[in-house]
Structure 1
Amino acid sequence: MIEVSACLPRGSVYLAGETVKSQITFSNTSQNPSDTDSLAWSSVQIICQCSVSESRVHLPKSQQLSTEEVSTTGCDTSFVPNKGERGLTVLSTKPRILFCDLKLSAGESKSFIYEDVIPVDSPPSYKGQAVKYSYKVTIGAQKFNQPTKLIRMPFRVMVLHGLNDISVYTEGVYHVILYDSGLNDISVYTEGEEVSPSNPFLKPQQSENSLLDIAMQVLSTVTARKAPHSYNITNAKGKVAKFILFKQAYKLGEDIVGVFNFTDGTIPCVQYSVTLQSEEQISEECRKKPGQGTAVTSYVKHQEMCLHTAKTHINIPIPLTATPCFITDIVCLRWRLHFEFVTSSDPISESERPTNMDDAASWRGPATINVETMVWDLPIKIYPTSPIHASCVTMLKSGSCVQI
């Protein structure tokens, strides 16, 4: 019997455009020294499956890859990586053949390295209310005259949208150019022009940064704290509060920090809450019903009583398991902060503070309050983080094993 084990050495989270590296080991586990076992072939492929809610999404046939586009045939002895999978195959890399006619003696093992690039225009891994994208490295192997067996290793893909070209770093000045496509044309970072005489007999050395290093520097620039944004929160009766947000672009795992100032408010605010929410919007051509609304998912909520409060702040962590903003032909995902303010319709008097610091004072609130509720949505942008950082909290296993 042959045992096939596979693992992703770096972890199970990657950026679109990165190279996925997998180590695949074939071992003959027989205890009899005279036993020799063999495999006819083995092949590896990366696929992305898209499953949708049939009650909410209608997919055009042009959106899906047929089984023939993923594999040549559909019989039990062929390599069909999406066999038994739910949904549609929206992405499929070219199959890589590891070997043909592999023979292993008892106790013998042989390892292979599989590497392939995730296309930069791939959709991200996502599990929403109506749409789901999932990635797998699928390994197929077959013994002679036996059905093909598959090993699937799920992994997560994060996508950077809107970053296409990065200008060359010269003299320590950083410039970032924003475009509308993906990370598909990234220039090399250089340390600046050499001022020493060049040797015509030596090949010039260029220091290249990996796509991950470049992406992390771009993310640091895009999500850096700039000028704070100030918002006056008002209703028909007057001003409620002033809200200050230090930035509007965040990476996964960061904290959203904001400050409320109620000192200039003319309307008493009794309570407020701030919720981090995602909005899942299906494209018009894929909606099942014409008037179909947006699906909202809440993640983290901060709630506080703020009557007679002068200043306070919020600190909302962004989960590392969340999916950053993205858009495909089927779905668009956006992020927002959802505010709810409970204000009093009548003025609420505050107790007089004692002039002497040693004296004590007590205040009893009214038994009933006539209140009104107002809501406000503030759009924000959420970008990916380091895949290595995100791998620390993922529930996906980076290894798999099967007996053939």
Structure 2
Amino acid sequence: MLYPMSPKVVELKHKLESFMDRHIYPNEERFYREAEELGPWKVYPVVEELKPLARAEGLWNLFLPESSHGAGLTNLEYAPLCEVMGRSHLAPEVFNCSAPDTGNMEVLERYGTKEDKERWLKPLLAGEIRSCFAMTEPAVASSDATNIESSIVRDGDHYVVNGRKWYTTNATDPRCKICIFMGKTDPDNADRHKQQSMILVPMDTPGIEVKRPLPVFGFYGVPDRASEVIFTNVRVPKGNMLLGEGRGFEIAQGRLGPGRIHHCMRLIGLAERTLEKMCRRVRSRVAFGKPVSEQTVTQERIAEARIMIEQARLLTLNAAYAMDTVGNKVAKAEIAMIKVAVPNMACQVIDWAIQAHGGGGTSNDFGLTQAYATARLLRLADGPDEVHRNQIARFELKKYSNA
């Protein structure tokens, strides 16, 4: 292997795969049923039942790098484990490794005060509460984060928060107790990247209205608890400001780097599982006198899927290695490349699998529609393809600025 796994990672991967076989895959049908029947405003019992089992087996908070609270894994070490978890929508939260909590915990670990860590990070690490991240807004093109219009205004010993946010994942979850809110503290600053700040907003603060859940391709709660939230004159103590006024964009970039690569790692696992389903399906179906697996168009798609998954995995491992060795800021191009390549790969592989399943592929019976919703969503979440492509092109053109 170009990026060999350490003995520690090999052991964790075997434990994860065993747990998936024993507890995750057998409970997926129940998970989807609970999500559909209970909706996005409820806790799904199957998740809460499985969490203690995962924690008891040491499969908990694996995502946290260089931390006494997690497994202390690098991005490169975490990648194959995240891929295994990505094979099922049920898995990440069971292991306390789901977005947006992972990113929020990393922010609190890096920038939170001692009090913040005790009040919010500790219960998040224990899986006792959940959190949300309020950045995207419906009134502006949020692909450019400097467009954000929400306000954070100092008033004595408090800040007053106002804004309308959407795609605020987790806000409808009754366990969601803390929000990391991004808004402008200095809208007139000549440097557009220093206008924004991030502040901790407890979800029980007066003035917060979780207005509605937002479906993703008709799914509420799976793959995402996307929500619209309105903040009206929400007062929070000045000590809730993270890192300081004008540092919000800086925090966002630090937060989104690991988040983007985690999404890509999980998508590779989802694509692998989808290819498995496709192969099993076409071997079991006969059309026009021979198995569908013997149709050359099917074989071509299977071959292309395998090539694309391997390419995406190597690109993602390369990005993880770069993040570990030169840091997230220097590895911006590598992160941007996987954020374009992996969701597009997954969309194509899942589309071929849907086609191979026939009409059934468009139902919810095989998990393919849920998988496609996830992959297609991730061509937009954490920055759309177009933004990342532009960034990659600028990095490339910069090489020839003196030519």
* Structure number, greater radius of gyration: 1
From the two aligned structures, give the one with the greater helix fraction.
Answer: 2
- Structure with greater contact order relative to length (CA < 8 Å, sep ≥ 6): 1
Q: What range describes the TM-score normalised by the shorter chain of this pair?
A: under 0.3
TM-score (norm 2): 0.22
TM-score (norm 1): 0.22
